[in-house]
Amino acid sequence: MSLGNWSMNIGLGVTIIVHLLGLLHCLHVLIYVRSSQGAIAWMLAFLVMPWIAIPFLLGDWKN
């Protein structure tokens, strides 16, 4: 395999892992978020843009 194929496989693997983390965080939101509006907003964020939403949630947990 060439170097380009390896980097594409690693990128695909990272993308799949991040999206799976987004799905897991959706389950967490269903259980622990109190307001329905907040739960819907977080779930949409995790499903549509997990690359941005996951760091925001991790930053929010530290406060």
pLDDT tens string 8-35: 788 888 888 988 988 888 888 888 877 8
Inter-residue contact 24 to 42 (CB < 8 Å): no
The CA-atom distances, in angstroms, between 22 and each of 2, 4, 7, 8, 49 are 31, 27, 23, 21, 8
pLDDT surpasses 60 at 1:
no
pLDDT tens string 27-58: 888 888 778 888 888 888 888 888 888 788 77
Alpha-carbon distance of 50 to 15, in angstroms, equals: 10
